[in-house]
Amino acid sequence: MKKLRILLADDHIVVRTGLRALLERQPNLEVVGESENGRETVELAASLGPDVVVMDVGMPILNGIEATKTIVTQRPATAVVILSMHADESYVMRALKAGARGYLLKDSAAADLISAIHAVSQNKSFFSPKVSRILAEDYVRVLKQKGAVDSYDLLTNREREILQLVAEGKANKEVATALNISPYTVETHRRHILEKLNLHNPAELILYAVRKGIIS
């Protein structure tokens, strides 16, 4: 089996060392490079062509989120997992908007990183359970304070199925195959879902799914 090629981006050498030790014990993973700032990461991603980039958020010169944006645009085949200290929505949202597929908290990186790398390499989304929990809790709290009805109830069963698949990172075609319907129908459903939930882009949709505990 072909090993997954991984690029580590973190400005702290101790963190990189720890991550490398963790990853190299896995037989099917290979760390192909390390970088300590955003720009270097973008350059290495271009020259090494890794399958997955494990990216710190706070890095000098160019931060992790900006670097993610560039890498995802330049090499759509490369998946990015964000490593962050913060479980807050603002970070998660930015990371998703930038095109990251995974979002991990540093304090739980060791436990989740391997699963996250495998998930994103298969084009799925992955979040630390703690992130999902915090986002969901915040969402529920706001709903309670505002006394609003749960928008999820507005969705049909078919729309809920599609929401889950889309949030997992599946393209329209894949969803269509899985549900045995036309990709155009999927697109229509997607548009309806966004309208009903008052969302504006795929990143918000993924975030919504995480909050609702539809994906983790």
Partner 1 sequence: MTEKKPNTVTSQVQNRRRLGSRAALFAGFGALLILMAIICIDSLHTLGEFQTANTQIRQDFLYRERTLEQVRAGLYESGNIVRDYILIESDADAQAMLRTEFQTIHNETTATLNACIQSLPTVKREPFQHLAVELENYWSTIGPIFALSAKEKKELGNSVLRGDVLSQHAKILAITKEVRAVNNDELNEAERKTTEVFAQFRRRLLMVATIAFSSGLILAASSIMYVGRLENSLEKKYKESLQAQRELKELSKRLVDTEERERRAISRELHDEVGQSLSALLLDVENLTEMSIDDGVFRKGLQKIKTLAENCVNEVRNMALLLRPSMLDDLGLVPALEWQAREVSKRTGMLVDTLEENVSDNLPEEHKTCVYRIVQEALNNCSKHAYAKNVRVVVRQEPNHLRVSIEDDGKGFDPSRVRGLGLVGMNERVSQLGGALKVDSDPTRGTCLRVDLPLPSASSDSGELTA
Least distance (Å) from partner 1 to the CB of residue 129?
13
209, burial (CB in 10 Å: exposed 0-12, middle 13-18, buried 19+): buried
**Residue span binding partner 1 (CB under 8 A) among the ranges 86-94, 161-169, 178-186, 203-211:** 86-94
Which residues make Cβ contacts (< 8 Å) with residue 36, sequence separation at least 6?
9, 10, 11, 13, 16, 59, 60
- Pair 34, 6: CB distance under 8 Å: no
Q: Residue 54, SS3?
A: strand
Least distance (Å) from partner 1 to the CB of residue 128?
12
Site string for partner 1, 135-174 (x = CB under 8 A): ---x--xx--xx----------------------------
Residue 18 engages partner 1 in binding (rule: CB under 8 A) = yes
Residue 86 engages partner 1 in binding (rule: CB under 8 A) = yes
Q: Residue 36, SS3?
A: coil
Residue 198 engages partner 1 in binding (rule: CB under 8 A) = no
Query: Could you tell me the CA-to-CA distances from 32 to 49, 101, 107, 108, 118 in Å, in that order?
Result: 9, 20, 24, 23, 16
- Residues making contact with partner 1 (CB under 8 A): 10-12, 14-15, 17-19, 21-22, 25, 38, 57-63, 65-66, 85-86, 88-91, 93-94, 106-111, 138, 141-142, 145-146
